[in-house]
Structure 1
């Protein structure tokens, strides 16, 4: 999958503030999550997670996890990290980053979602989703489309973006049974729920699809820029990173109108909100960008 660093379309944009991660901790910064106080950034090439204080951007600690961490989740049970290279997830103590446990999952875990008092793990290499209890116990594994990379919880169901199937699978959150499979754009990558609808980024055609939460029907497709990857809903707006043009776009959920576009660091992937600001993980520049 291309991780382009083209900058020509983002040079004239207003820029978010960029925070460089410490040397040796930020290589391949791909995903991040907020616990309300700190940001936790997974760096694939360093096999680490770095904790950054949201109020001032200070690095608090960098901890070693498994091989190739590519997803991170802040949950009441701890900070969860998906280790793509060794088929495990790690659970960290949010107070100091100490390791609480490491648990086997499917092949190539690359996405994490919290929902229904469980942790859901997307296994890219065997096209499954593993459902974990919050103590790390495996409860079940479910088949989805090819190469699941992102997902969203709507309060009842799990919506999974299948990157190589160009589809989205809806699973019943209680049983894991498939409720439906719906078309998306080219290379669906991330997903977010806005309270009524599901938004899916399409990496290969630079768009985001808006699906109706009740039945999965496509309501609209909006262009956002090459390499549409990370997505989050901050309670007001949808934010989407465009990896190929180094920017993040803010959309209005009601009609998909572009409210603002900002330059980021190089190769942005993950995006999250801490309630006060938006944060972006920049894969190619080993940094995070923030609106704070």
Structure 2
């Protein structure tokens, strides 16, 4: 899901559509036939450069939607099994677990401009805090990649595996939702030190950072949690 342009945008994995919900009246305002690359649900919707983006076909495509009229403005060819997206640092970024790559897409030309090798089974990612951060799920690591050079500039070992989970950036930190060991981990983006391991293990789930605190979900036990902000110094 993503929030923008006065709406909540939801990938409907059952119907292979992108659904738009008006935040004012909480009603469905549009159903867009984009397709969904991973109908099992391990995917996301992102907003950037005045558009909404969704991974739309397992064979390798990302669909760009114009929120002003809900039209499909472009379909971008990428590598097969591209499921995970993040928009930031002027580009759209995506990962393909089978290809073990981070893909860099230029929104000005709607083209894939760089493929960057990463670790095993790359999953969710975030572009923020001056870098692109990728969960290397099978390695239990988070990779830091320079958006300018495409080079991996560091890694932090979090656990034996980072299967599923989530990642976000903000407030001078990287926030990593984990499936085992704890609820989430806080990482210093400069030193790559783990600043904190927070909460009890609660299975797979999502995470979003806000300046007021942290939201996490726990899919396996069907809970939504709010964590009050804590200052983590570098």
TM-score range, shorter chain: 0.7 to 0.9
Equivalent in 253, 263, 281 of residue 189 of structure 2: 253
Distance 1:267 1:74 in 2: 25
Shift of 1:202: 1.6
Task: Structure 1: state its 5+ residue gaps.
Answer: 1-71
Q: Are residues 195 and 261 of structure 1, via their aligned partners in 2, closer, same or farther at CA, if it must alter by over 3 Å? A: closer
Task: Structure 2: state its 5+ residue gaps.
Answer: 229-234
- Show the counterpart of 1:144: 78
Equivalent in 199, 218, 238 of residue 152 of structure 2: 218
- Show the counterpart of 1:284: 220
Please, what TM-score do these two structures have when normalized by structure 1? Answer: 0.71
Tell me whether 1:161 sits opposite 2:90 in the alignment: no
Tell me, yes or no, if the aligned pair for 1:82 and 1:90 is still in contact at 8 Å: yes
Tell me, yes or no, if the aligned pair for 2:89 and 2:130 is still in contact at 8 Å: no
Shift of 1:266: 2.4
Equivalent in 103, 109, 114 of residue 47 of structure 2: 114
Tell me whether 1:76 sits opposite 2:5 in the alignment: yes
- Show the counterpart of 1:266: 202
Distance 1:97 1:232 in 2: 26
Distance 1:113 1:168 in 2: 16
- Show the counterpart of 2:162: 227
Compare 268-277 and 110-119 and name the one that shifted more: 268-277
Distance 1:108 1:145 in 2: 11
- Show the counterpart of 1:238: 174
Pairwise CA RMSD of aligned residues?
1.8
Distance 1:124 1:269 in 2: 24
Deviations 1:19-67 (A, max 9, x none): xxxxxxxxxxxxxxxxxxxxxxxxxxxxxxxxxxxxxxxxxxxxxxxxx
Please, what TM-score do these two structures have when normalized by structure 2? Answer: 0.87
Distance 1:115 1:129 in 2: 13
- Show the counterpart of 2:19: 90
Distance 1:255 1:96 in 2: 45
Shift of 1:123: 2.8
Tell me, yes or no, if the aligned pair for 2:96 and 2:102 is still in contact at 8 Å: yes
Tell me, yes or no, if the aligned pair for 1:171 and 1:177 is still in contact at 8 Å: yes
Large movers: runs of 4+ above 2 Å: 106-110, 123-127, 225-229, 244-247, 263-266
Q: Are residues 245 and 136 of structure 1, via their aligned partners in 2, closer, same or farther at CA, if it must alter by over 3 Å? A: farther
Tell me whether 1:178 sits opposite 2:112 in the alignment: yes
Compare 114-123 and 262-271 and name the one that shifted more: 262-271
